[in-house]
Amino acid sequence: MSFAIAARAEGLRVATWHGDFSRKGPGLLLQDIVAGEVGLGPILDAAPDILVLTDMDYDGGLLALSALRDALRGGGLDLPHGLAVRPNTGRPTGLDLDGDGRLGGPRDALGFGYFNGQGGMAVLSRFPLEMERDLSDLLWKDAPESLIADDDPGRDIQRLSTAGHWQVGVDTPWGRMSLLTLAATPPVFDGPEDRNGRRNLDEAVLWLHVLDGRLGAVPQVPVILIGNLNVDAERGDGLRDAARRVLAHPRLQDPMPGTDTVRWDATGPMRVSYVLPDTRFIVSGAGITGPVPEAGPHGLIWVDLAGPR
């Protein structure tokens, strides 16, 4: 998998990667990073200035994130600023959300996970970061145009975000910008009720409601919608209108239309990860680095910004 429309000369490179920075138990990711057993090639090759990871285990001391930052620095890439908060993945609900007759399984959590924090999100950056807004505790039923079923077993407690929806401020040389991050649930692995498909759509379009003023203050600084929507606008079993709506929003631009970002053995190539800058940015390039076998089937997606218009 490869794609590039330009090489970086000056400006900022913003990237996202659904690389495999998740393990089946707490502390195992940290152990692998320290042992040098985590594939960092795509990050080092792309050398982004801002990086959003959408499948990285969270720990309360941010030890794994700090170890990752140190490992990248050892490879010649210095991203001194990091941000992560506890995601919804692995948070127990005490309910049988998947209907298998048992409690405490990974699909019974607020977001799929074998333990608290498995497969969350993280941001690394050359520039200072600030959590401006965290929508991760928004109940699914309270999201605009929510598609949650009336008889959903978790209707009164189910949060919309699988991992999180973070509005992260970045203080760049051009001034403040805001990252609108997400890592949505796969729209499969359920039954004919299509619970995951409906939730995926509502997760994917949540930032559009923010940009349209339906969930409080509209971000006034330039934004970048970035992360894993987990849905393709043209292919796959998801409710594809979600991706189409995101790509059609008048505030966002798509530097790499129709580009595959992942190649699964079962379904082939699809586009599920996105970096969509505000139309107020001048885009000078975009591309994909990887994937590499040791870090899963997803490529690292990068976009170069030459500055504000």
| pLDDT tens digits along 148-171 | 999 999 999 999 999 999 999 999
Residue 291, preceding peptide bond in cis (omega within 30° of 0): yes
Q: Is 209 exposed, middle or buried (0-12, 13-18, 19+ CB in 10 A)?
A: middle
Q: Say which residue the tokens 């500055």 belong to.
A: 307
Helix residue ranges, H only, 104-221: 195-204, 206-211
Q: What pLDDT, on a 0 to 100 scale, did the predictor assign at position 155?
A: 97
Homologous superfamily (CATH) of 3-308 is Endonuclease/exonuclease/phosphatase (3.60.10.10)
Q: What is the pLDDT of residues 173-209, one digit of tens each?
A: 999 999 999 999 999 888 889 999 999 999 999 999 9
User: Where exactly are the structural domains of the chain?
Assistant: 3-308
Percentage of the chain beyond pLDDT 70 is 97
Q: What pLDDT, on a 0 to 100 scale, did the predictor assign at position 4?
A: 47
For residue 5, is pLDDT > 50?
no
Q: What is the pLDDT of residues 239-272, one digit of tens each?
A: 999 999 999 999 999 999 999 999 988 888 999 9
Confidence of residue 172 (pLDDT cuts 50, 70, 90): very high
Q: Rounded to an integer, what distance in angstroms lies between the CA atom of residue 146 and that of residue 139?
A: 10
Confidence of residue 9 (pLDDT cuts 50, 70, 90): low
Centre a 10 Å sphere on the Cβ of residue 297 and count the other Cβ atoms it contains: 19
For residue 102, is pLDDT > 90?
yes
For residue 75, is pLDDT > 80?
yes
Q: Rounded to an integer, what distance in angstroms lies between the CA atom of residue 6 and that of residue 18?
A: 22
Reduced to 3 DSSP states, what percent helix, strand and coil does the chain have, rounded to the nearest 5? 20, 30, 50
For residue 122, is pLDDT > 50?
yes
For residue 223, is pLDDT > 70?
yes
DSSP letter assigned to residue 25: S
Q: Rounded to an integer, what distance in angstroms lies between the CA atom of residue 90 and that of residue 58?
A: 10
Give me the mean pLDDT over the 44-60 stretch.
97
Give the C-alpha distances (Å, rounded to integers) separating 116 from 25, 106, 293: 9, 10, 26
Q: Is 24 exposed, middle or buried (0-12, 13-18, 19+ CB in 10 A)?
A: exposed
Q: Which pTM does this prediction carry?
A: 0.95
Do residues 287 and 302 make contact, with C-beta atoms less than 8 angstroms apart? yes
Q: Rounded to an integer, what distance in angstroms lies between the CA atom of residue 309 and that of residue 289?
A: 27
Mean pLDDT score across all residues of the chain: 95
